[in-house]
């Protein structure tokens, strides 16, 4: 960890080197430790310190971006020079609004947990042991990883923006396998002590045990219970394909020309909130703009999409919500701190809502079929079960689905009270499990 004083000095060292009309400095640093296990034993402990220093310059409305992982004076000279040379060979950007200027103070949110940042290999090993030993006793094989990390974000520019934010995260995932079945568990937190690896391991073990000798099931439309892992996939596709300002303005989003219209069932409420201290917060975006809490879908009605500096200015009617990703960014602003509202049904009672259908643990290899309709195809994985008369009666071989996630959320039967935090590439999603009607399965597998 560099700390705020050293990173402020670093920003000044870069800015003073740049003769460009505008200059931006983005620093991303991480001290990460990872313990991997396979075949019920730890096979790798790694610790990595990494950093990325990115410089964006503007020369006569032409933009250049360059990066380095060295903080030496020579490297700073080179990265600034490279960014300027790249800008000089780019065509002028006719709609360039300039780099952001200070626009308020970020909401003070503490996302740094000392227990996570200082977690030792022995502590991680002790946590993993609580998964592997029960797996051994049941004749199963546990594999997975536990990662703990400290991160630093610093953004500064020539318009006097300077922001610094330290944070931590812990992320645990395991797959438990038997001869003909498998189970899966995953959880993330800013605080490693909040991750109940024993309960997660037990859930994966029970899933693997119940998955033995799966039966064939013909494709078709089935009522389903989707666990949080599958729901996370759904909200991630919905947000990345349709709830960003660039897709909205370009007419590529289901929300284009449909704000204040119903797009899902009334039980679906989705917000983006990077200010929640318990949910891997990030109170600023990657341009140093304070992040706002944004209501995306409220009781099935699409209310807003998220914006960054460039696309908000281009829209001429929406304001910047602080959702810029690191430049160069061809995706535009995207929600990365998704929270789906909980329901009133305990998760273990969702199955009682299904007369004939399937319990699905998670989706795998999901790919977009139709972006505007958010039609996605993929496979079930690590625990798919047949439900009859409100009870799980048999494991099922994995199925391929092809379904509009939006339309599926329009057929909600119930939403669980419990929610789980699951980390993504940036940010994380806090999601419940759901029961849905008529989910479309289009193919089957031999496993």
Whether residues 266 and 368 share a domain: the answer is yes
- Decide: helix, strand or coil at residue 164: strand
Per-residue confidence (pLDDT) for residue 104, from 0 to 100: 86
CATH code at position 150? 3.30.2290.10
Sign of the four-CA dihedral 432, 435, 437, 443: positive
pLDDT in tens, 212-249: 999 999 999 999 999 999 999 999 999 999 999 999 99
Q: Is pLDDT of 424 > 90?
A: no
34 has which bridge partners? 46, 147
Assigned domain for 206 exists: no
Whether residues 162 and 219 share a domain: the answer is no
State the first-to-last Cα distance of the chain, in angstroms, to the nearest integer: 46
Name the domain count of the chain. 2
Distance CA 287, CA 26 (A): 8
Assigned domain for 25 exists: yes
Range of the domain at 310: 214-447
Whether residues 232 and 98 share a domain: the answer is no
**Side-chain half-sphere of 235: how many Cα atoms within 13 Å?**
31
Q: Which of 165, 197, 229 is a domain's end point?
A: 197
Assigned domain for 276 exists: yes
Per-residue confidence (pLDDT) for residue 297, from 0 to 100: 99
Q: Which of 130, 162, 197 is a domain's end point?
A: 197
Query: What is the mean predicted confidence (pLDDT) over 317-342?
Result: 97
pLDDT in tens, 138-157: 999 999 999 999 999 999 99
Q: Is pLDDT of 278 > 90?
A: no
Q: Which of 170, 197, 224 is a domain's end point?
A: 197
Whether residues 231 and 187 share a domain: the answer is no
Per-residue confidence (pLDDT) for residue 177, from 0 to 100: 98
Whether residues 270 and 413 share a domain: the answer is yes
Q: And the tokens for 316?
A: 């001429």
Assigned domain for 152 exists: yes
Assigned domain for 205 exists: no
Whether residues 190 and 224 share a domain: the answer is no
Whether residues 154 and 219 share a domain: the answer is no
Share of the chain above pLDDT 90, in %: 97
Q: Is pLDDT of 401 > 90?
A: yes
Pair type for strands 337-340 and 428-444: parallel
Whether residues 118 and 250 share a domain: the answer is no
Whether residues 315 and 182 share a domain: the answer is no
Whether residues 177 and 244 share a domain: the answer is no
Whether residues 176 and 277 share a domain: the answer is no
Assigned domain for 218 exists: yes
Distance CA 353, CA 413 (A): 7
Distance CA 367, CA 386 (A): 25
Q: Give Dmax (Cα) for the chain.
A: 72
């Amino acid at each position: 960890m560099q700390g705020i004083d050293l990173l402020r000095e670093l920003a000044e060292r870069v800015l003073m080197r740049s003769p460009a009309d505008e200059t931006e400095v983005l620093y991303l640093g991480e001290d990460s430790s990872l313990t991997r296990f396979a075949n019920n034993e730890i096979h790798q402990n790694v610790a990595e310190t990494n950093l990325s220093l990115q410089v964006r310059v503007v020369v006569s409305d032409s933009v250049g971006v360059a990066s380095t992982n060295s903080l030496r004076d020579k490297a700073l000279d080179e990265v600034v020079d490279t960014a300027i040379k790249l800008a000089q060979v780019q065509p002028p950007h006719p709609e360039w609004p300039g780099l952001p200027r200070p626009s308020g103070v970020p909401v003070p949110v503490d996302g740094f947990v000392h227990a996570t940042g200082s977690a030792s290999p022995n502590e991680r090993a002790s946590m993993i042991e609580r998964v592997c030993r029960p797996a051994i006793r049941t004749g199963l094989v546990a594999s997975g990883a536990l990662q703990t990390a400290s991160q630093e974000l610093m953004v500064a520019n020539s318009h006097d923006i300077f922001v610094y934010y330290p944070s931590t995260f812990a992320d645990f995932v395991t797959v438990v396998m038997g001869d003909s079945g498998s189970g899966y568990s995953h959880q993330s937190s800013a605080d490693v002590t909040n991750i109940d690896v024993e309960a997660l391991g037990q859930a994966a073990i029970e899933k693997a045990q119940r998955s033995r000798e799966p039966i064939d099931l013909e494709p078709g439309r089935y009522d389903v219970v989707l666990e949080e892992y599958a729901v996370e996939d759904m909200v991630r596709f919905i947000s990345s394909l349709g709830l960003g300002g660039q897709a909205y303005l370009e007419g590529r989003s289901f929300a284009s020309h449909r704000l204040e219209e119903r797009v899902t069932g009334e039980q679906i409420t989705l917000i983006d909130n990077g200010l929640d201290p318990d949910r891997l917060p990030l109170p600023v975006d990657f341009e140093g703009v304070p992040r706002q809490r944004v209501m995306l879908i409220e009781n099935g009605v699409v209310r807003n999409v998220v914006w960054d500096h460039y696309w908000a200015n281009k829209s001429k009617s929406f304001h910047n919500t602080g959702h810029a990703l690191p430049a160069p960014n061809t995706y535009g602003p995207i929600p990365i701190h998704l929270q789906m509202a909980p329901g009133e049904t305990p998760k273990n009672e969702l199955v009682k809502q299904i007369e004939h259908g399937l319990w699905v643990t998670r989706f795998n290899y999901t790919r977009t079929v139709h972006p505007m309709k958010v039609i996605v195809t993929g496979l079930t994985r690590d625990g798919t079960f047949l439900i009859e008369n409100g009870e799980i009666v048999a494991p099922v071989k994995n199925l391929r689905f092809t379904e509009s996630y939006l339309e599926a959320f329009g057929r909600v039967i119930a939403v669980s009270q419990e929610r789980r935090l699951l980390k993504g590439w940036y940010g994380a999603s806090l999601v419940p499990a759901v029961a849905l009607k008529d989910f479309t399965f289009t193919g089957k597998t031999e496993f």
